[in-house]
Amino acid sequence: MAERTSVPPRRPGAIAAGFVGITALVGLIVGAAFDLALAGLVLGVVLALVGIVWAYTSGIAVLMRVMRAEAVTERQQPRLYNLVEGLCMSAGVAPPDIFVIDDAAANAVVVAVSPNKAAIALTSGLLVDCDRVELESVIAHLVARLRSGHAIAGSLTAVLIGAPLLLAQLGVRKKWWDGARGGRSPDTSLPPARSLSVILASGVGALVLSVMTPVLSPLIKVFVPKDLVRQADLAACQLTRYPPALITVLSRVTNETGEENSSVSHAALGVTNHLWFVGAISGLDGYGPLGRFHRNLLAHPPTEDRIAFLKEL
């Protein structure tokens, strides 16, 4: 099993270098259009360096805010803290900050920018639905991503390479309930100026998504290893030594037809999908205004395949 869980993560330096290259190229192209190619190139590099510093200093806070996660204390969640600390000690990683997302769906997410700077967030639905052993299996999956370095690579990819999509999806999400999963918001209490700003933000966001999703989604997949989810499942079983618990949780988040029904639609964005325990983007299977963009960013194998894989252990 050790050999099967050794998928190497993309190095943070490679992700940062890719971000600098992309930003510099954009600056060069824009600058050349105004006969200022060198100035555009320099500006692109400077902006990229500022973005990298921002990602390392504020990336976790930004992602937790995007996911609408609230920090919890040990007094509020003693069982959760106990499980996280125990698994981190077994895995040899620094304990992450712990957050909870107020959502009935059973899901969890991990973000990190360095081995000593990380956070995990679990939905309230997961905390309610899972017993101690099942919850331990999900946390072990998240801790395994921290130990392997995949959490760092995935988080930096989301906030650097995926920055335009992240901002665009935030703009579009302002106009729809549940992350564009349903129809337009019927809220008429907003003042006219506020309503206009929402319309403009969503319009610009939709335009950026249309243009940038086909360009950036292949790059995001380059920096996010295809098999990282299944490898984290296997590593989690190494930590807990009890695959049935993880199988039970995965079985619970699928319906009779095998389709995932635990999308955390109000908190999830397509560009952060790869950071979640199970797929957590709204508009799955083409449903909702963002469905066609989200399909390009799916990172998880079918849950049925994950369950079948674990049953072979």
Q: What pLDDT sits at residue 250?
A: 92
Q: Which residues of 104-118 are buried (b: 16+ CB within 10 A; e: fewer)?
A: ebbbbbbbbbeeebb
Match 């200093």 to its residue by tokens. 57
- For residue 223, the model assigns a pLDDT of 72
Q: How many whole angstroms separate alpha carbon 228 and alpha carbon 208?
A: 28
Q: Which domain holds residue 248?
A: 3-311
Helices 243-252, 303-311: crossing angle, 10 deg rounding: 160
**Do the bridges between strand 97-101 and strand 117-123 make them parallel or antiparallel, or are there none, so unpaired?**
parallel
**Residues 99, 294: Cα–Cα separation, whole Å:** 25
pLDDT at 81 (0 to 100):
96
- The ranges of the chain with pLDDT < 50 are 1-5, 177-193, 256-258, 261-262, 283-286
Distance CA 278, CA 115 (A): 23
Q: Are 179 and 283 in contact (CB under 8 A)?
A: yes
Residue 196: C-alpha distances to residues 2, 180, 205, 207, 252 (Å): 55, 18, 14, 17, 41
Contact 101, 127 (CB under 8 A): no
Element (H, E) at 218: helix 192-223
Report the C-alpha gap between 33 and 197 in whole angstroms: 30
State the DSSP code for 224.
Answer: S
- Three-state secondary structure call for residue 302: coil
Residues in Cβ contact with 98 at an 8 Å cutoff, skipping those fewer than 6 apart: 71, 72, 77, 80, 81, 84, 119, 120, 121, 122
- Tell me the C-alpha distance between 190 and 161, whole Å: 34
CB-based contacts of 88, cutoff 8 Å, min separation 6: 94, 95, 96, 143, 146
Largest Cα–Cα distance in the chain?
63
Quote the pLDDT of residue 145: 94
Domain total in the chain: 1
Q: How far apart are the first and last CA of the chain?
A: 9
Are 184 and 146 a contacting pair, CB within 8 Å? no
pLDDT value of position 1? 44
Q: Contact at 8 Å (CB) between 136 and 122?
A: no
